[in-house]
Chain A
Amino acid sequence: MKPGQFTYHAPRSADEAVAMLAALSPQEGRVIAGGQSLVPAMALRLAMPAHLVDISGVAELARLAVEGDELVIGAAVTHSRFETSAVAGPLGRLLAGVARHIGHYPIRTRGTFCGSIANADPASEWCVVAACLGATMVARSARGTRRVAAADFFQGMLATALASDELLIEVRLPRLAAAARWGFYEFSRRPGDFAVAMALATYQLADGVIAAPRIAVGGVEDRPRRIAAAEAAIVGASPSAALLQAAADAAARAVAPIDEKAETVNYKRDVTRAAVRRALAAAAIAEDQRA
């Protein structure tokens, strides 16, 4: 479990990082930020990059700020920055609530939000957040900068729309309305483990009925995604136990777990059902009423 040989590069600016990537990506160069996924993969020699471009020391990439209606998360922003509310309003509280589920504290002090997004593990909490809320990924390379919607960004297990010379320079999350409700539920074997299944739900209540629901599931399919059938089950209706169950049932039917064994597929469906119902139930409790 010693990594193969590599050359380490420490750019001082985003421009330098992008320039390095342009030069080194054809030579098996890769970006490293917190290294919480890449370093174990290197130790197992599942990843053998010849060059590492370490962006964790680039100050301008550690920016976490609100721009208009978006929260802008720089490439070097660590998970732990979200543990206390990173932005006023429900989005900050949502991110804090989710962050607690990511690995363990030492992991959260090193691993980065954008690193999780770029790694695209199906069981990544941030990928579920990005899919659910409709994040915009900003990719930059020497060829220019482009924006990719979450639905287009995640392309499969550990697969994204990023080209090898592109740096995911920031992720932009739309701020939630002040009255937005949210709930997150994750089941894993142990706290901090990869999820067996997890669900994130947000909606607003307009005149007592559910509006603008977003329900996303992670850890089950090869990428996290919103579950339209579950959202359709609740939109325009008043929250009730039966309604939440209907949405959960719809989600369980809609997902296609990636496991090969039938018993595992069935189990994953059932845990999906529980996760969606529990996330919705959490959302149904106004934030000031929560324990």
Chain B
Amino acid sequence: MNAPATRQKFIGRSVTRLEDLPLVQGRGRYAASISFPHQLHMRVVRSAHAHGKIVSIDTAAALAMPGCFAVWTAADVAAIPPIEFRPTHIKGLEPYRQYVLARERVRYVGEPVAVVFAEDAYQAEDAADQVVVEIAELPVILDAEQLPGEFEPGRDTEPTVIRKKFGDVEGAFREAQSVVELDLIIGRHSGVPMETRGAIARHDATRDVLELHGATKRPHPNRDLLAKMLGRSPSSVHLYECHIGGGFGVRGEIYPEDVLVCAAALRFGRPVKFIEDRRENLMACNHSRQQRHHIRAAIDADGRILALDDEFFHDQGAYIRTHGASVADGTATMLAGPYNVPAYRVVAHYRLTNKTPAATYRSPGRFESTFVIERVLDAIAAKAGIDRVEARRRNLLTTRQMPYTRPLDLHGSAMMIDSGDYALLFDKTLERFGWAQLQRDLAQRRAAGELVGAGVAFFLEKSGLGPVEGVRIIVDTGGTVEVVTGAASVGQGVETVIAQICADTLGVDYRRVRVTHGRTDRIDYGTGAHAARVTVMTGSATHIAALKVRAKALEIAASDMMEAEIDALDIVDGRVVRKDSPDSPSVSLAQIAAALTAASAVAKGREPGLSADGVFHCEHEAYPYGAHVAVVKVDAETGGVKIERYLASYDIGVAVNPMLVEGQIVGSMVQGLGGALFEEFVYDESGTPLAVTFADYLLPTALDVPPVDVLLTQDAPSPLNPLGIKGGGESGITAVGAVIASAIDDAIGRAGAVTQLPVTPQRLHAILKRRQQSPQ
């Protein structure tokens, strides 16, 4: 095969986004913008009780309301099975899946118990208010650490206990110079997209095709799941993505509402539209993060880790949703992070409570595990009497250890960290932040009475979840290159990045590349946009397919059109040119595509079309990494925290578009700040959620976010894919909780003071009060 063009014109450059034109013109099309003639609006009647037996549901008054078309309860969808989770090696989770409408019991406030279909959204809500649901209350469980209760007769609320172990943990603790022990809590919060969920289903009876519009994240797997639940063939179900106002892991999973609109569209023969409102969103869409860890670390005299021993309680909420136990499992796998840990034991109690079900949120398991392990590193520093930076230097994995295999099972094979130079990035980060001078400045300010301090945290991310992704590239007779992919766009710049990779590989301008995504009717397979995988997996597949198209174009140009050797030709700006005389007559890709129309191609014994499929397969994930450094100032009287400076560094292997990566880093850092300081799904003792509006669920606003400096490095490309790419979708969120905790500790002069996220003013105030009462 001939070599691709030597000059890289687009990869590595911060070219402007291809997808922005309709967005900046106000022509974006979001789920709520989609309507079909004669559609019905669906409104969900949700449980007002956290746990109870359904005694009766009276729909008569609702049915009598103006515009009400139908009301469904569980009996109306009895044939629909519960929503499946992804394949997993963890056994015994099936009985805890959620049905699309509650049967017999309700288990969280917000659980769908009935749905109302009406002619407009107002009438639907009016009628839903008239559905009378009688519930006989049962005891609620709101703390995953409390002893398990009853899920249903004969089944308790602990579906599984996940255990991970390697090395001689007991021996290490026996031999240890000392042991640090921490009790750490990560609060319940989640991705809260500005655009709530939406699903619009219609059945085209002429073709017998069920369409679901408003799909995102995983159109193809969701097509398959919906087809299975509804008893249809996958080829008779099509999902269509539209613009999306934020994904973050929570959107684009299959929820009860997605199934219900499809079932109703099939049964009623009318399109059915569901648009989630904000109050619903905060009690129905996946929650995440809530865990409590009891962790011990055995260390030697120099502060080197000999063993980690963690027992944690994962608060899953009321049911097991599409991710199964993957967040708890991932936490248990990623806890050692970027560090040398010779012996390791984690016991994860995966427990159900009477709260909204939980699943993945950007950096799932890693935001949690990074908070825990970085708190441990700070505690080790204090215990060993060494600087926090030094404690990390002594424990980070080194380049000599790369690729590094950790004896933990991940997707059926051992976890393998592909590449990394952690010490280098750590040095660059501290240098850029002026860490050494900063320490002197902070000491002076503290001496003058200010509660100011700096925090540091290192983290390991993962990306490029496989095992496979594919694209089809088609050059049309106008010379436009279309890349059709099963990936989805959640706003991160898929079209631009894939176009950049295709453009460089093929030899065209990236603006001549159309990227088609999120349509199950254009390509038969795809895994979607999650787990920081699109640029790695779809990008690699694009590279492979573009090489094939390039080869085909050159071959035809050489043999049929230019009377030249293939090696004498190159493709530049969409034209095949002679390398030795680029200004001599050339042939455009459009001409070649025209020469390959079905009739002419077959006549010459060739496959028709200037097109090719590319499939990329990779069993292992690529592991990017980063460090965060922050300066905070604490207001002792109010417990308020002001972030004065922030640096987020990240090694991405190869940045296809640095501007987009930096956008991912800053955006996700802001979300991390939410989990560190503001966002928390709080419940009262009856299990009623108290944060169901934006007045109570506090997202960081522009006024709460400091300027974020970004250091993006490309020192450790991944050996796992042709371009060396690692993912950046979760790049800035992972260490925010950890670094804020570290900085607050430093500001108030007490290592280990912060043990719980979010650090609300009231919690910090309580910490400061305790310090006054018992000085250490």
Contact = CB atoms under 8 A, between A and B. Distances in A.
Contacts of A178: none
Interface in A260-275: 263-264, 267, 270-271, 273-274
B170 interface: no
A2 B122 CA distance: 6
B698 A190 contact: yes
Interface string B117-140: 000011001100100000000000
Nearest to B278: A1
Contacts of A194: 695
A5 B122 contact: yes
A196 B703 contact: no
B678 A187 contact: no
Contacts of B761: 187, 189, 196, 267
A48 to B, nearest CB: 10
A45 interface: yes
A44 interface: yes
Interface in A155-207: 187, 189-194, 196
Interface residues of B, number: 26
A89 interface: no
Contacts of A40: 693, 695
A270 to B, nearest CB: 6
A192 B762 CA distance: 18
A5 B65 CA distance: 13
Contact of B704 (A4, A45, A190): A190
Nearest to A275: B638
A4 B640 CA distance: 39
B698 A1 contact: no
Contact of B765 (A2, A44, A267): A267
B766 interface: yes
Interface residues of A, number: 22
A270 B703 contact: no
Contacts of A267: 639, 761-762, 765-766
Interface string B664-697: 0000000000000010000000000000010100
B698 A193 contact: yes
A15 to B, nearest CB: 33
B762 A263 contact: yes
B704 A191 contact: yes
Contacts of A192: 701, 703
A189 B641 CA distance: 10
A233 to B, nearest CB: 18
A150 B438 CA distance: 51
Nearest to B129: A45
A52 to B, nearest CB: 15
B703 A191 contact: yes
Contacts of A191: 701, 703-704
B638 A5 contact: no
Contacts of A273: 637
A220 B761 CA distance: 16
A192 B277 CA distance: 23
Given A1-B277, A190-B698, A190-B703, A274 B638 contact: yes
A189 B678 contact: yes
Given A2-B125, A190-B704, A270-B637, 8 more contacts: A2-B122, A4-B126, A40-B695, A190-B703, A191-B703, A191-B704, A193-B695, A270-B765
B279 interface: yes
A192 B637 CA distance: 20
A264 to B, nearest CB: 7
A271 B640 CA distance: 10
B279 A44 contact: yes
A213 B475 CA distance: 80
B698 A271 contact: no
A272 B635 CA distance: 14
B615 to A, nearest CB: 45
Given A5-B126, A44-B693, A271 B638 contact: yes
Interface string B756-770: 000011100110000
